[in-house]
Amino acid sequence: MKALRKLFDNIKPLVEEGGKFHAFRSFVDGFETFAFVPNQTSRQGCVNIHDAIDSKRIMSFVVISLLPALFFGMYNVGYQNYAAAGTLADSTFWDLFIFGFLAVLPKILVSYIVGLGIEFVVAQWKNEEIQEGFLVSGILIPMIIPVNTPLWALALAVAFSVIIAKEIFGGTGMNIFNPALITRAFLFFSYPSVMTGDDNVWVAQESIFGFGNNLPDTFSAATPLGEASVGNAIPCETICNAITGLIPGSIGETSVIAIALGALLLLFTGVASWKTMLSVFVGGGLMGWLLEGVGGNQLEWWHHFVLGGFAFGAVFMATDPVTSARTECGKYFYGFLIGVVAVMVRVLNPGYPEGMMLAILLMNLFAPLIDYFVVQRNITMRAKRAIKK
Amino acid sequence: MSKLIKLRKGLDVNLKGKAALETVSVKCPGEYALVPDDFTGMKPKVVVNEGDTVLAGDALFVDKKHPEVKFVSPVSGTVTLVERGDRRKLLSVRVKSDGKQQSREFDVKGDIKAVLMESGMFAFFRQRPYDVVANPEDKPKAIFVSAFNSMPLSQDFSYVVKGQEEEFKAGIKALSAIAKVNLGINVAQSKTFLNDVPNCEVTVFDGPAPAGNVGVQINHVDPINKGEVVWTIGAEEVIFVGRLMKTGRVDLTRTIAVAGSEVKKPAYATIKVGQKLDTLLQGQISDESSLRIINGNVMTGIKTSKDGYLAAHATEVNVIPEGDHADEFMGWIMPRFNTFSTHRSYLSWLFGKKKEYVFDARVKGGERHMIMSGEYDKVFPMDIFAGYLIKAIITGDIDRQEALGIYEVAPEDFAIAEFVDSSKLELQRIVREGLDILRKENA
């Protein structure tokens, strides 16, 4: 530890203004604050003591809460591949997991390298510290895309979302839309064939380093939600698998159990608002119940919770503090409407089997409006009080 | 029975080094200083020269705009230095005590406001909006006094007022001649004489910090609307007024809490406004380690040194470690058992409210944009959207600041919010600057 401290102390002068390697200031600074809590003390005229919480710790805990879903996602990638090839019986747990790990790892790396790379450049350019927001986005992105998404498309989408959805607004805390969902939306609309197109995107099709199986080109597997959207009934067994997570789908979104573990941590630490999370389920459940049986819809109201990205979106995306409603009262409306719109898109729009992404992005846009009404009530109250006197 | 107001929002932080309820006497050192910066929003004009002899109660400087508002010497002696900084800004006026403590005699029979201005007591009034020295031309709708300070390591006024009950009552009586007086007390104090102080309306507040902030109390008792003015004055300063009323002399002696984890024997001390701190801290703090000496409360006070002088409004001096060489490893994931946080990602919630924590002055994180929502509101017991108000101040949107209630707040009301803020924004500084700009615009 002391050696590390010394190393940073030695490097620091080189990256300061006028130093030889000034271009790497944000990079070194990022790693230093990662290794050591900054020793900077509070300034004159400010509070002299501080709570130990900072955005690094908050973001780290969000990442930790995502890990169960991520690890299960890796296992499921392997499971789907071996199941499709019919060799499930001959394989061990580690075969499945390692194959999934190898299939998912490049996506995580691409997401972080592209996204954090842009963050470092922007921080250097604006002479600011690295903002931790992308630590979360960077892990969310690989979890909400199909396993067969090409890496070049992913890199392009990450770059687009970090620059257009986040940095031009001023960085973490200033963005209107959730950057991870913008990445997905970008892929969804720009490269529909690699996202949902021919139903052959959900299961990894090629073996990696001897793990996994090569599936024939003609192989295809639809997600249960895709099946439901064309009016097929969902068998009971599939619903059970959807709860454990052994269905085709985006990498991290399939297992309700793994997501619930993450949700518990988020709610316990207070990083995510229970108001938002609960309201999404209430809104989705209510709309699902109202639309039961409408237009050949075969889903019961609670099926919406376990299929597709509903649970994942409700727990990890809707509760993003920056893009959700910021007033406590507004969070109820914000979450409720996300649930309503998501199920509405699923059931009533034959074009899109999944509506969660679009519902959250739409409500990201309306969150400031919801807050406006809540804050306006306070403003009106104050104005009235002044007149009454 | 007085009205009881329960406050849910807020936060009590349990710091190590609370002052024991005993008073130690402090030697009177030679030099005193009156610092104009302690009286926010006032432009000083010096009325003495170096070498002049003054009595306690003689003006050292006055407000340029209202020369009748005087800022007086706490002791009798000789003016040794009129200290000026950049652009001849007045930093302090220093007086060397002659040790006799002779005081000017005031005739307290006349117009009470004029007496207070002449004797330097008026300088202790602050006004809302803007949290600056009160303007004598205003007609305040009320005067608010908070008899308790809820911040950690703060002075316990119930202890301080012991033996000075009559002075306190006399002070309140004098204030009531100017405007209606509202006194805020806490639950423990409601069983003492404070509950029955005549000439004022008493309200009992029950809740965590910042319930003792006079701004919070105003918001719940009689909120300020645009165009209205409320004056506030510290509880101990009411005793100053009372002493003046009883004896006709100026006596700015305070009983302050000397507290904090780095104070060897935290206790109370009698000391005069403007007194040099080195005598107070002699033998009380170690000389080697890097310390932060705070003129005032750990939440709201300003950093000073051993050579500093007791600030005009300070009711305590807190000493904590500076912590600038802490080098804590990987704070984002370590359990950090001895670190306090309101956040559940730390384990402080496990140890209960009784555990005392040592805090150093580190910010413990980098400054970010506002990321988490609702953090401020949890510890901001007023019907004001703190986060939105801060944003309006940052963006300089004056209409919106007014609409969101900036006239009701002072920087100190944001102290706890600044403490818990995970984005580490300097809320008190932001609010102070916002109020200054607003005052200029409205002038």
pLDDT greater at residue B338 or residue A168: A168
Per-residue tokens: A144:
């909400």
pLDDT tens digits, one per residue of B57-73: 999 999 999 999 999 99
Kindly list the domain boundaries of chain B, sorted by start residue: 253-321, 363-442
Domain B253-321 has CATH 3.10.20.600: yes
Q: Report the DSSP pairing between strands B31-34 and B126-128.
A: unpaired
A-to-B residue pairs, Cβ atoms closer than 8 angstroms:
215
Chain B residues with CB under 8 Å of A273 CB are 373-374
Q: How far apart are CA A229 and CA B331, in angstroms?
A: 47
| pLDDT higher than threshold 70 for residue A197 | no
Confidence band, pLDDT 50/70/90 cuts, at residue A171: confident
DSSP state of A21: T
Tell me the one-letter amino acid at B270: T
Q: Minimum mean pLDDT among A177-191, A345-359, B34-48, B58-72: which range? A: A345-359
How far apart, in Å, are the Cα atoms of B174 and each of B114, B235, B415? 12, 13, 31
At residue B300, the pLDDT reads 93
Length of chain A: 389
Q: Residues 202..261 of B with a Cβ closer than 8 Å to A: which?
A: 223, 225-228
The predicted-structure confidence for B155-181, as pLDDT tens digits, reads as follows: 999 999 999 999 999 999 999 999 999
Q: What is the pLDDT of residues A307-344, one digit of tens each?
A: 888 999 999 999 999 999 999 999 999 999 999 999 99
In degrees rounded to 5, what are phi and psi of residue A121?
-65, -45
Q: What is the pLDDT of residue A218?
A: 67
> A-chain residues within 8 Å CB-CB of B369?
131, 170-174
Using alpha carbons only, what angle is made at residue B121 by residues B118 and B123, rounded to the nearest 5 degrees?
Answer: 95
Q: Which residues of B touch A48 (CB under 8 A)?
A: 292, 294, 298-299, 301, 303, 318, 320, 361
Interface test with A, best of B424, B429, B430, B431 (most A CBs within 10 A): B424
In sequence order, the 6+-apart residues with CB closer than 8 A to the CB of B440 are none
Which residues 6+ apart lie within 8 Å of B182 measured at CB? B142, B143, B144, B145, B200, B201, B203, B217, B218, B221, B222
Q: Which residues of A touch B422 (CB under 8 A)?
A: 51, 53-55, 57-58
Tell me, yes or no, if B428 comes closer than 8 A to chain A by beta carbon.
yes
Residue linked to tokens 């809740």:
B207
pLDDT in tens, A127-142: 888 888 889 999 999 9
Q: Coil, strand, or helix at residue A214?
A: coil
pLDDT tens for B329-345 read: 888 888 888 889 999 88
Minimum Cα–Cα distance from A386: chain B residue: B225
SS3 A227: helix
* pLDDT surpassing 80 at residue B318: yes
Q: Which of A61, A67, A63 is nearest to A268 (CA)?
A: A61
Complex-level ipTM: 0.92
The residue of B154, B300, B337, B372 whose CB has the most chain A CBs within 10 angstroms, and thus the best one to mutate to test that interface, is B372
Q: Looking at residue A95, what is its pLDDT?
A: 87
DSSP state of A15: H
Q: What is the DSSP letter of A196?
A: I
Average pLDDT, chain A: 87
Coil vs helix vs strand at B9: coil
CB contacts, 8 Å: A267 with chain B: none
Choose from A5, A47, A134, A378 for mutation: most chain B CBs within 10 A.
Answer: A47
Q: What percent of chain B has pLDDT over 70?
A: 100
B220 contacts in chain A (CB < 8 Å): none
pLDDT per residue as tens digits for the range B368-382: 999 998 899 999 999
* A264 phi, psi to nearest 5 deg: -60, -45
